[in-house]
Amino acid sequence: MKQKANMAREETAQQELLIEPNRPVLHYWRDVWRYRELFWFLVWRDILVRYKQTVIGVAWSVIRPLVTMIVFTVIFGVLAKLPSDGVPYPLLVFAAMLPWNFCANALSESSGSLIGNSNLLTKVYFPRIIIPVSSIIVSLIDFAISLLIIAGVMLWYGYLPDWRIITLPLFLLLAFIPVAGAGLWFAALNVKYRDFRYIVPFLLQLGLYVSPVGFASSIVPEKWRLLYSLNPMVAVIDGFRWALLNGSVKLYWPGMAISTALSVVLLSTGLWFFRKAERILADVI
């Protein structure tokens, strides 16, 4: 009888799933891979939610960047008469709006992703990092639509890209790194401090004007270029313009180096902070 009881306990122990708050890093990323189907399910769900039962649906992803391009062209190109580095001003603006809109949408969605999925967090275990990262991937849909728009605008102006277009994925990765790091920071902070949901829109509004979206970064005096490059979006936007506009916009390599380094630091600290906060997310949400 005692032997049967021991066997029953051993069988029960084998069926138990032990969830440790400080699991080794390798085990954690293995869990992320195991839950990859959940990741793609969340991506597909967010895509359906974004475009299903909307009045203009995907057209909104076309109208918004076009209107913004027209406004910035009139204000900075026609009225302020800022230089465009020898390219049509609408192209200069739209090439910058590609990465900016991706980063702004991704940061806005990822920062509130944990709050929006609070019911899921409190009911089942899975690596929580899946939620903010999946919301960032959804923003690539709008990016792809904008890419088709700028292709049409470039054809309109007869401005075809050259071999530099193959480097565009590298600059997209450079845009993904800082937005993923910042998204992890804000997603975790937004759970504990709900007023962070007001900070993110303010930072995005401010960033639109301090980043070279409506103007060329070449207008910044040379002595301030390195300091200006502390904004990671400067390197990303200049990179997109360089890749799309046949190198008309020159790359500032010292600024590229410092922006890339800061982006990596932001992602590394974001991962560290999110993993640290992940243990208590379900308790405080």
Read off the pLDDT of residues 183-222 as tens digits, 9 standing for 90 and up. 999 998 888 887 777 888 898 989 888 999 988 888 888 8
- pLDDT tens for residues 106-146? 999 898 888 888 888 777 778 889 999 999 998 888 888 88
Number of domains in the chain: 1
Residue 14 lies in a domain: no
What stretches of 122-213 show up as alpha helix (H) in DSSP? 130-157, 168-192, 196-210
What are the counts of helices (DSSP H) followed by strands (DSSP E) for the chain?
14, 0
For residues 134 and 39, is the Cβ–Cβ distance under 8 A?
yes
Q: Are 225 and 251 in contact (CB under 8 A)?
A: no
Which residues make Cβ contacts (< 8 Å) with residue 195, sequence separation at least 6?
Answer: none
3-state helix, strand, coil in the chain (%, to 5): 75, 0, 25
Residue 22 falls inside a structural domain: no
26 falls within a domain: no
Q: Is residue 133 part of a domain?
A: yes
CA–CA dist 175, 214 (Å, integer) = 18
Distance CA(64)–CA(195), nearest Å, equals 27
- Is residue 213 within 8 Å of residue 237, measured between CB atoms? yes
273 domain residue, yes or no: yes
Q: Is 243 domain-assigned?
A: yes
Domain that holds residue 136: 38-284
Q: Which residue has the tokens 């440790």?
A: 20
Question: What pLDDT tens digit does each residue of the chain (285 aa) get?
Answer: 445 445 545 444 444 444 454 456 667 788 888 888 888 988 888 888 777 756 566 677 777 888 888 888 898 888 888 888 888 899 999 999 999 999 999 999 898 888 888 888 777 778 889 999 999 998 888 888 888 888 888 888 888 888 999 999 999 999 999 999 999 999 988 888 877 778 888 989 898 889 999 888 888 888 899 999 999 999 999 999 999 988 888 888 998 999 999 999 999 999 999 988 887 776 666
Cα(10)–Cα(5) distance, integer angstroms: 9
263 within some domain = yes
pLDDT digits (tens, 9 = 90+) for 203-213: 898 988 899 99
pTM: 0.84
Return the axis-axis angle of helices 168-192 and 253-277, rounded to nearest 10°.
40
